[in-house]
Structure 1
């Protein structure tokens, strides 16, 4: 037998070489080609990634707006803004609504110090809540990194399979 003649008993054929014509895409039993199935999976992955990014962006914007309103209230109280002004009363009302119950946590004698401590802590908590929420959403909702496929050599004749590297 020369090296150009085919082996009469080649043994089990590896799965990657089952298709004798690699240019021909065979359909799966469901009628979908493996390429179309991979593209569909990639589109679903991209759609989920976009949705998670959008949700995380919305959460970040909302929590940042709450923190900015609390900081604006601190600035207006420290700067002695007119409480009868429409903007000052709106910011004060909005800040009391998003203060998370920290309005009377600290009760120093000075009213400015009280607003600084309570609203400042509430702003930091809002920023922390936003960061934790977006981190958890990204960690559990996004698909993991692509892992490289590891192949094991199939048994051919009397040769033991080699373990993956």
Structure 2
């Protein structure tokens, strides 16, 4: 007597192997799209501001450890830490078009309280129709340097 529920390959659906192949293809496509996406100017400016805050804190710690004053100021090609050995810290921006608004100079020690100070970073590579981006790296003199987003002028 024949079975009521006969097994037919047409009615079985997808196999596990077919599903795994489809998932692998989707994962590769997602990875390709994420790698192809360009870094926006806002993201690169935020990264520069975070990097500068970390560099300030590093120079501040080195100044306190050595007892020598350390000053930071901008140069034509980037910035400079005076009072530290040459090549102790980087002296260039990572992103093209990053500049400092105004004539900024920062004293980073050796005293534990350095007074309120700030530096405004500007990305001059704004795309057409996008506003100028400004990030501030600031401290009240006691707390570590922190990054703040500013409204463009």
Instruction: Give yes or no for TM over 0.5.
Output: no
Q: Which has the higher strand share?
A: 2
Q: TM-score, normalising length from structure 1?
A: 0.30
Q: Which has the higher helix share?
A: 1
Greater radius of gyration (CA) = 1
